[in-house]
Amino acid sequence: MADKIEHLLEDLETFPPSDDFTSSSPVPADLMARAEEDRLGFWADQARELHWSTPFTEVLDWSDAPFAKWFGDGTLNASYNCVDRHVLAGNGDRVAIYWEGEPGDKRTITYSDLLGEVKRAANLLESLGVAAGDVVAIYMPMIPETVVAMLACARIGAVHSVIFGGFSADSIRSRVEDANAKLVITSDGSIRKGRIFPLKETVDAALEADGHTVEHVLVVRRADNEVSLTPGRDLWWDEEIAQVGDEHVAKPFPAEHPLFILYTSGTTGKPKGLLHTTGGYLTQTSFTHRTIFDLKPEQDVYWCSADVGWVTGHSYFVYGPLANGSTQVMYEGTHDTPDLGRWFDIIQRYGVTIFYTAPTAIRGYMKSGRQIPAKYDLSSIRLLGSVGEPINPEAWAWYREVIGGNRVPVVDTWWQTETGAIMISAIPSQVALKPGAAQVPVPGVVVEVVDDQGERVNPGEMGLLTITEPWPSMARGIYGDRERFIETYWSQFPGRYFAGDGAGVDKDGHLWLLGRVDDVMNVSGHRLSTTEIESALVDHPFVAESAVVGASDETTGQAVVAFVVLKESKKAEIEASDAPQVLRSHVSTKIGAIARPRQVYVVAELPKTRSGKIMRRLLRDVADGKAVGDTTTLTDASVMSAISAGVASGT
Ligand code: 6R9
């Protein structure tokens, strides 16, 4: 590797915090120094900001590395920390969630309201026989009951597995089966882009075949679409919850008690269920949330636009903000319904002060033009955040200028489902910001950018991002597969976590994240596996072979582009149909709409090396419309000319 990136050695323009911002910041000025002086003591201090039923005496046990135990002999309850604690401290009247449905319906939920709902939901789950350690799958839209369901699981020690509401029946099925889920919580439908998506129907399809462990399906009413209930299995949430008591005492669980499983795409076909536990996860999500976002819980209105189906929704919509007693916005629908001003209208009406979103959204707005945000009063905003993929300096500058009125800090936060919480980001009250760089590890996190041999790279060079010391919110494994966790993340550089991302280091030692170096694509900030989509394609009767690449895309960062070789034996059927169209919707049905290829190219052959490996690199060049790179290792170089010619002519 060790490629030079010249501009990282130059003096770049930086944006220091204003005196005002720094002087009014609640973030202690000595955090970095404290973490450097005593890393474990620093994390223990952060953990003590939570409510522990039994205080811990041990900070880190790394004897079974890479399976960490943090605060192992302490006990706590995540739901108590996110809700009860604030009510008991006299903040029950503080708004926890300003919810807005896509059609415009609204609910304001205080911490007291939330506590009442979580208690009843916990009673409901217990009445259905759900106990500590059981897995509950949650397939829901962005409505308050989703948060209530997650916190109710945490309250009784059940492990939630949230499945993004855009995923297909097959994806639900494989996740429910992998984790032996006992209960599924869903809604009749979800409302997006003015349409109703029948979530319950999708759950029915997922559970149609026998061989799963689901005993009940709880259905929340949201879209009022028709659903069919399977007697004995399916129950309406509202009818059941009306019958349970409204008192529920949260029991403490050990710090290492599992909190949730969340599936994410890796380099292989099968999504991995990352397991997160309670004490360390809650410590680092709440610490980073209040530090990176400079949180003033009694004043700020915080909004993270991520769906709860992704890790950002878990850590920076549910657990981090609620553990900190924040007031936040929850919005059900899409940003362009009824028009492209929707998000800005929400910011203006609720007086959002901290806004956290993804570069893909920012680039989308750059395309549609600054006249749209200009129609709204966005002066309440005092801090902006970005997550999900590298933010290019142009998008950073636009975000700061157009949304942040040229005056507010923009923090770029790097982290992953596996890391549980933010790992690299400037603390905006303390570090001068550099457009396009995530910059520095958060206090208490230790990273190193290395070459293929594991040697630290010099400033101006690019290498691979590794994390050299355990951190509190790290995943505790892949659910049910100990070996795969070790093999996937800890074997390339023994003793270190390898993130799968490339990074450069600049002359100040700051980090510039450069995207994935493996077969994971990043489409609109969502992780997709090339292998998983290839498997979905070859699952279709037309397809003999497929190769999928992430092509560059101006708005979504990357886009899925597929190359397929079709079966001779199906010639007649293929000719009678629009094969690329058929295959695009097939992927959508198998995985979900986010995985639908932007293009499917039918080719006669795939380019392969003599050892039979598909040369995706060359296909990526074609998909990007670039000159095709070195083809000398191919068995037959003419394959590439035929593909390039075909793509150029649009066939
Ligand atoms: C939180 C989240 C993780 C992958 C990660 C990296 C990319 C996320 C980034 C970023 C550059 C940032 N990524 N944040 N790349 N700068 N600020 O997105 O988790 O869905 O697991 O994706 O996203 O490539 O490896 P997840």
The pLDDT of residue 630 is 74
pLDDT tens, residue by residue, 493-531? 999 999 999 999 999 999 999 888 888 889 988 888 888
Answer yes or no: is the C-beta of 415 below 6 A from any ligand 1 atom: yes
The pLDDT of residue 613 is 72
Q: To test ligand 1's pocket by mutation, which of 288, 384, 389 has the most ligand atoms within 8 angstroms of CB?
A: 389
CA-closest residue to ligand 1 atom 23? 388
CA-closest residue to ligand 1 atom 22? 416
Residue linked to tokens 């019958």? 243
How many Cβ atoms are within 10 Å of 242's Cβ, its own excluded?
A: 10
Angle at 465 between CA 463 and CA 467, to 5 degrees: 145
Highest mean pLDDT among 7-16, 345-354, 610-619: 345-354
Cα of 309 to ligand 1 centre, how many Å?
15
The pLDDT of residue 529 is 86
pLDDT tens, residue by residue, 160-207? 999 999 999 999 999 999 999 999 999 999 999 999 999 999 999 999
The pLDDT of residue 649 is 73
CA-closest residue to ligand 1 atom 11? 390
Averaged pLDDT, 286-315: 97
Averaged pLDDT, 565-574: 90
Which comes out higher in pLDDT, residue 291 or 624?
291
Cα of 513 to ligand 1 centre, how many Å?
9
Residue 525 CA: which ligand 1 atom is closest?
A: 18
**Can you read off the two tokens belonging to residue 474?**
């790290």
Look at residue 3 and tell me whether its pLDDT is greater than 60.
no
Averaged pLDDT, 363-391: 94
Answer yes or no: is the C-beta of 513 below 6 A from any ligand 1 atom: yes
CA-closest residue to ligand 1 atom 1? 416
The pLDDT of residue 544 is 87
Averaged pLDDT, 201-226: 97
- Whether cis (ω within 30° of 0) applies to the bond prior to 66 is yes
**Can you read off the two tokens belonging to residue 549?**
């690449």
Residue 315 CA: which ligand 1 atom is closest?
A: 1
Cα of 358 to ligand 1 centre, how many Å?
10
CA-closest residue to ligand 1 atom 8? 388
The pLDDT of residue 527 is 86
DSSP 234: E
Answer yes or no: is the C-beta of 425 below 6 A from any ligand 1 atom: no
Residue 599, SS3 per DSSP: strand
Q: Are 34 and 447 in contact (CB under 8 A)?
A: no
Which comes out higher in pLDDT, residue 641 or 19?
19
Answer yes or no: is the C-beta of 363 below 6 A from any ligand 1 atom: no
pLDDT band for 266, please (50, 70, 90 cuts): confident
Q: Are 122 and 132 in contact (CB under 8 A)?
A: no
**Helix or strand run (H / E) with residue 366:** helix 359-368
Of 199, 178, 179, the closest CA to residue 188 belongs to 199
pLDDT tens, residue by residue, 23-45? 999 999 999 999 999 999 999 99
Look at residue 1 and tell me whether its pLDDT is greater than 50.
no
CA-closest residue to ligand 1 atom 14? 388
Residue 480, sorted as left (phi over 0), alpha (psi -120 to 50) or beta, turns out to be left
Q: Are 219 and 239 in contact (CB under 8 A)?
A: no
Backbone angles phi, psi at 260, to 5 degrees: -160, 165
Look at residue 432 and tell me whether its pLDDT is greater than 80.
yes
**Can you read off the two tokens belonging to residue 404?**
């942040």
Residue 42, SS3 per DSSP: helix
Residue-by-residue DSSP string for 110-155: EHHHHHHHHHHHHHHHHHTT--TT-EEEEE--SSHHHHHHHHHHHH
DSSP 89: I
Q: To test ligand 1's pocket by mutation, which of 307, 414, 594 has the most ligand atoms within 8 angstroms of CB?
A: 414
Secondary structure of 420-481 as H, E, C letters? CCCCECCCCCCCCECCCCCECECCCCCEEEECCCCCECCCCEEEEEEECCCCCCCCCCECCC
Residues in the chain, total: 651
> What's the mean pLDDT when you consider all of the chain?
94
Answer yes or no: is the C-beta of 307 below 6 A from any ligand 1 atom: no
The pLDDT of residue 650 is 66
Q: Are 481 and 25 in contact (CB under 8 A)?
A: no
Cα of 277 to ligand 1 centre, how many Å?
21
Residue 526 CA: which ligand 1 atom is closest?
A: 20
User: Which residues, 6 or more positions from 502, have their beta carbon under 8 angstroms from its beta carbon?
Assistant: 1, 462, 463, 464, 465, 513, 514, 515, 516, 517
Cα R_g (the chain), whole angstroms: 24
Look at residue 633 and tell me whether its pLDDT is greater than 80.
no
Residue 329, sorted as left (phi over 0), alpha (psi -120 to 50) or beta, turns out to be beta
pTM score: 0.92
Look at residue 269 and tell me whether its pLDDT is greater than 90.
no
User: Which residues, 6 or more positions from 613, have their beta carbon under 8 angstroms from its beta carbon?
Assistant: none
Taking the C-alpha atoms of residue 385 and residue 312, their distance in angstroms, rounded to an integer, is: 12
**Can you read off the two tokens belonging to residue 466?**
């590794």
The pLDDT of residue 2 is 40
Backbone angles phi, psi at 185, to 5 degrees: -110, 125
The share of the chain scoring above pLDDT 90, in percent, equals 82
The pLDDT of residue 408 is 97
Which comes out higher in pLDDT, residue 237 or 613?
237
The share of the chain scoring above pLDDT 70, in percent, equals 98
CA-closest residue to ligand 1 atom 10? 389
Q: Are 270 and 308 in contact (CB under 8 A)?
A: no
CA-closest residue to ligand 1 atom 7? 389
pLDDT tens, residue by residue, 134-152? 999 999 999 999 999 999 9
Distance of CA 256 to the CA centre of its chain: 22
| Long-range contacts at 23-27 (CB < 8 A, ≥ 24 apart) | 25/294, 25/429, 26/290, 26/294, 26/295, 26/296, 27/290, 27/291, 27/294, 27/427, 27/429, 27/430
The pLDDT of residue 519 is 81
The pLDDT of residue 114 is 98
Answer yes or no: is the C-beta of 311 below 6 A from any ligand 1 atom: yes
Q: Are 633 and 609 in contact (CB under 8 A)?
A: yes
Answer yes or no: is the C-beta of 621 below 6 A from any ligand 1 atom: no
Q: Which CA distances in Å does 326 have to 174, 290, 379, 607?
A: 35, 9, 20, 53
Q: To test ligand 1's pocket by mutation, which of 289, 392, 522, 524 has the most ligand atoms within 8 angstroms of CB?
A: 522
Answer yes or no: is the C-beta of 498 below 6 A from any ligand 1 atom: no
Residue linked to tokens 């910041």? 25
The pLDDT of residue 8 is 84
pLDDT tens, residue by residue, 56-110? 999 999 999 999 999 999 999 999 999 999 999 999 999 999 999 999 999 999 9
The pLDDT of residue 617 is 83
Cα of 387 to ligand 1 centre, how many Å?
7
Of 565, 597, 575, the closest CA to residue 584 belongs to 597
Answer yes or no: is the C-beta of 79 below 6 A from any ligand 1 atom: no
354-357/383-386 β-pairing:
parallel
